[in-house]
Amino acid sequence: MEAEGLPGALELAAGGGGAGLSPEKRAALGASLALLKRDYRFEAVWFWGCVHGVRGTYYIAQGLGADRAAPRSRLYSLDCVEWSLLTPVAKEVGEQAERLKGRFQGDPSFQYEYAEVSAEDAERLLEDGVEPVIKEEDRLIATIDQIDRAVGIVPRGAFVKTPLGSVHENRNFEGLSLTEAKKLSSYFHFTEPSNLKNKTLLEKANWDPSTDFLDSLEHDIPPGSWTVQPEKGGAVVVLRSLLWPGLTFYHVPMTKQYGYIYFGTGEKNLDLPFML
Amino acid sequence: MEQASPEHQGPEGFSQLYAEGQDSQEASRSVDQARALGSDPCQRQEPRSACRTYGGGQEHYQAHEDGHGPYQPHEPGYGLYQPGYSPYDDPIPDPEARMLAVQNAKAYLLTSSTTSGLNLYDHLANTLTKILDEQPTNVVDIIENISKDVKWAQFRKKMDTLRDEPAMPPTFESAERSKSLFLKSDEEGDEELDEKGETPLPNVMETAFYFEQAGIGLSKDEYYHIFLALKKLISAQPIQACRFWGKILGLEMNYIIAEVQFQEGVEEEETEEEEEEVPDEGEKGLGEVEDEDEEKEKEDEPPKSTYKPPPVIPKEDNGTGANKYIYFVCNEPGKAWVKLPPVTPAQIVCARKIKKFFTGRLDAPVVSFPPFPGNEANYLRAQIARISAGTHVCPIGFYQFGEEEDEDEEGGGGRDTCEENPDFQPLSVAEMVESLSTWVHYVPSILKQGRCVWINPSQKSEEEEEGEEEEEKDEEPDELQQEIGPPLLTPLSEDEGIQNVPAWTAQPSTNLIPQYAVAILQSNRWPGAYAFASGMKFNNIYFGWGHKYSPENHTPALPEPVQKEYPDGPEITEAADPTVEEELAFKATKEKARAKKRKTRKNE
């Protein structure tokens, strides 16, 4: 969520999740995120959330350029003051990191043995002369990427796509109405769309190509993996993902306020089909 | 923000009107306007010249028909240098003809649209007024949206009452409920204070403050609402001690849970209802042996089933063991508090095997395998019992065992009461964080049986076991504690971790200001369970979904193996009965054989 609106947003999003930020961290973030924006020349800085490791917590921020759909820079910090850039990893490493199970350790230099993941891969890599380990940093960025792709959501109409292909915030976005906000179809995954072309002609007829260029949440698998709760009688609509527990999205209907934040252990809830 | 200005193209440009920020209706409206303004190339002459005062708008027609002007539409200066169309040229030099042209143009603009009753003149005037009033930046990029908003505003007045109604009530209702919390009731006074001058109402805001230092908790608003809701609960029920236990999230609604202890002497009247509620599901449930009873009454007696269900393990008495506290839940502060029923061992045993999300409605059924004996209220209560038993901790020395307790009375490890230690000396925060042995469990753990105090189910009576027997038959305790029956006040260092993750993570709330730091414990077995300790104060709380952590996937219990059939033998093998003809034929052959024998005997 936007760094500038962070304190107010945390009040809205934290209700219920339980996890939040201590006053010390909040104060530190206010200062350090502004400095990040200056140093890295980001157009916008979003505080993404925290991943709780066993011995420490990673605080994650994202920096965006003018095109909001471009690949984002991700930074992590252990104390909200000093930030380090996370380098994106190769696809194979990312896939292997996704298969790692268990908690994050909280120590960025920790190394996971490949043998835990797949013995054949470990042997193959040993032959190549590469150490069969995955660093926790790599696992971290792979997880963040996965979470963003799977459950990073924005309300419909909040972003527009220009004819040149770049994506910007829609200045005319006035917020969803309360009835719209309760429907899953009003929210989009903020990532490359994968099944836009599979919609029926009827659905496509009502589209506005400038705002409807992303996948909506309606057809997420498994159905029911999002909980939509109007809190305070509809003053705030909170969506929580059950697939990645800890991801909370909030939106105040009829206003421009929205955002999502992740407070969790960085583990996918693979038991979801049993739990619904 | 980049937005290319949409073009009022001629009809041939209809499909290209899908520029950003416009929807199809807007596009068709602008096409209508384009048509209204004269789709005929020859008719364009007049309006264009007359409208020159509005700036470079009309010049777009010409430029796009040409297609390749030196200036792009978004560049400044566009339109000013088109030949013959700069604002300073005047194609109609004659003033009279010009006046006429202006009047004609204006009259044309004032013509009302047949479909909407608006006319362009007023609309443009309103739009420009709005723009000049508000003065947004980069207005030319969003002019179409402003125009759409102005049009929309005109319609909104009529449909106002219709549209607003349904959206409002939920917000208002909830606001009403919240307001009722803030009203002071009439029976205020000293009735909350008991002899010691203490009130059963916990200081929720203080707890909130300590947890907030660690970044845990809800918003202050919500805490305050919960505070007031607890106050209401206390004034409604005869409560001796009360604590905010935590919040459990659900699919449709969440649960706010309060842990209370009733005053002495308040009886439980719900035992009767309890047993009726529990449905009879599955052979291993709490099934009473209905089959046998029914069959005795029948006259024809099919074989009696020799099945005896495993004996029902009785639940613990209210006030002891897993039922030590009573729990009240509500979905939102302001809604009514509902008391949760006491938990039975069978429910705890089953709850350990299933993993389901809570929906938020207490009467929702829990569909699972093995079938859960109860509905969501029972499941919630069972999870609360497990979480309390697993994660309620306190600094060492805060509680102590009373001296007059008899060792043999309740069996080894069965001391399930402890009292506050008046000589408690708090340890420093650094010590509390450094080692887990400075924390102890003060809630008895739940055995595998589902109770805190073991009971031998084969005994018909409900007496407690003697000490020696219990040691012999002591079952494996549940996975939270060490192998030997976990006694009360076990330090946390004895808790087993999961794989290579310790059971608890201890941290100070801040590293920058150690003098005022608070020691915070997070449970890794039950994600969402937290505890803090600071000086003489400590507390536990839970915020989460209500499930235990398991790095492996949840594997549901397999169904029972198929029962063995009665072995096939000749005594039960069916054979066709001989028909009448066959019988007669058989008799005939027998007769023949006998007759033959007689003949041979005669002949001898």
pLDDT tens string B96-144: 888 888 888 888 888 877 777 778 888 888 889 988 888 888 888 788 8
Name which residue leads in pLDDT, A213 or B3.
A213
Q: Which conformational region is residue B217 in: left (phi greater than 0), alpha (psi within -120 to 50 degrees), or beta?
A: left
- B507 φ, ψ (degrees, to nearest 5): -145, 150
Q: Which amino acid, B147?
A: S
Instruction: Decide if B253 and A19 are in contact by the 8 Å CB cutoff.
Output: no
Q: DSSP class of residue A197? A: G
Identify the weakest region by mean pLDDT among A139-153, B257-271, B376-390. Answer: B257-271
Q: What's the CA gap between A218 and A187, in Å, rounded?
A: 8
Facing B23 at nearest CB: one of A177, A208, A242: A208
pLDDT at A209 over 50: yes
pLDDT in tens, A8-57: 777 766 655 667 788 888 888 888 888 888 888 888 888 888 888 888 88
Find chain B residues with C-beta within 8 A of A174's C-beta: none
Residue B48, φ and ψ in degrees, nearest 5: -65, -45
pLDDT at B241 over 50: yes
Tallying the residues shown for chain B, one arrives at 604
Tokens of residue B231, six digits: 């106050």
- Return the residue of B nearest to A50 by Cα: B215
Q: Which pLDDT value is given to residue B276?
A: 38
DSSP sequence for B200-220? SS--HHHHHHHHHHTTBS--H
pLDDT reading at B250 higher than 50: yes
Nearest chain A residue to B146 by CA: give it: A172
B359 close to A (CB below 8 A): no
Q: Examine the pLDDT at A276 and tell me if it is beyond 60.
A: yes
Q: In the prediction, which pLDDT does A196 show?
A: 65
Rounded CA-CA distance A85/A75 in Å is: 4
Which among B171, B355, B553 has the least Cβ separation from residue A235?
A: B171
- Residue B329: pLDDT band with limits 50, 70, 90: very high
List the single residue in A with minimal CA-CA distance to B221: A11
This prediction has a pTM of 0.71
pLDDT higher than threshold 50 for residue A73: yes
Quick check: A160 and B21 CB within 8 A?
yes
Sign of CA dihedral B198, B203, B206, B210: positive
b/e per residue A266-276 (b: at least 16 CB within 10 A) = bbbbebbebbe
Question: How close does chain B come to A163, measured CA to CA in Å?
Answer: 7
Write down the pLDDT at residue B582. Answer: 84
Which of A162, A203, A248 would you mutate first to test chain B, the one with the most B CBs within 10 A? Answer: A162
Q: What is the mean pLDDT of residues B319-347?
A: 85
Place B19 in a pLDDT band, splitting at 50, 70 and 90. very low
A73 or B500: which leads in pLDDT: A73
Q: How far is B39 from chain A (nearest CA, A)?
A: 26
Domain residue spans in chain A?
88-150, 153-266
Question: Over 60: is that where the pLDDT of B37 sits?
Answer: no
pLDDT digits 0-9 by tens, B437-467: 888 888 877 877 777 777 666 554 333 333 3
pLDDT for the residue B61: 44
How far apart are alpha carbons B30 and B24 in whole angstroms?
Answer: 10
CA neighbor of B545 nearest in space, from A189, A175, A151, A243: A243
In terms of average pLDDT, the best of A97-101, B64-68, B360-364, B555-559 is B360-364
d(CA B508, CA B514): 8
- Residue of B300 and B225 predicted with greater confidence: B225
Beta pairing partners, A272: none
Contact status of B505 with chain A (Cβ, < 8 Å): yes
In chain B, which residues have their Cβ closer than 8 Å to the Cβ of A163? 4, 19-20
Rounded mean pLDDT, B336-345? 88
Amino acid B384: pLDDT: 92
Q: Supply the pLDDT for residue B380.
A: 92
What percent of chain B stands above pLDDT 90?
Answer: 3
Q: What number is the average pLDDT over the span A169-183?
A: 84
Looking at residue B41, what is its pLDDT? Answer: 42
Is the pLDDT assigned to residue B579 strictly greater than 80? yes
- CB–CB of B548/A269 below 8 Å? no
Q: Which of A134-138, B142-146, B246-250, B483-487 has the highest mean pLDDT?
A: B246-250
Q: Is some CB atom of chain A closer than 8 A to the CB atom of B82?
A: no
Cis-peptide into B395, omega within 30 deg: no
Residues B260-295: tens digit of each pLDDT: 888 776 655 444 334 433 333 333 333 344 444 444
Average pLDDT score over residue span B86-105: 74
Distance, in Å, from the CA atom of B288 to the CA atom of B298, rounded to the nearest integer, reads 18
Give the count of Cβ contacts less than 8 A between chain A and B. Answer: 147
Say yes or no to pLDDT of B539 above 70.
yes
- Whether B137 contacts chain A with CB within 8 A: no
User: Is residue B172 over pLDDT 60?
Assistant: yes
pLDDT at position B59, please?
45
Residue B469 corresponds to which amino acid?
A: E
pLDDT at res. A176: 86
What is the mean pLDDT of the segment spanning B311-328?
77
Percent of chain A with pLDDT over 70: 82
Strands A133-135, B239-248: pairing is: unpaired
Confidence of residue B383 (pLDDT cuts 50, 70, 90): very high
Give the pLDDT band (50/70/90) at residue A121.
low
Angle between helices B220-236 and B143-182 in degrees, nearest 10:
30
Residues composing chain A: 276
Query: CA of B96, closest CA in chain A: separation in Å?
Result: 45
Going by pLDDT thresholds of 50, 70 and 90, the confidence category of residue A95 is confident
- pLDDT higher than 70, residue B52: no
Closest CA to A16 of A251, A231, A199: A231
* pLDDT tier for residue B206 given thresholds of 50, 70 and 90: confident
Q: Give B547's contacts in chain A (Cβ within 8 Å).
A: 275
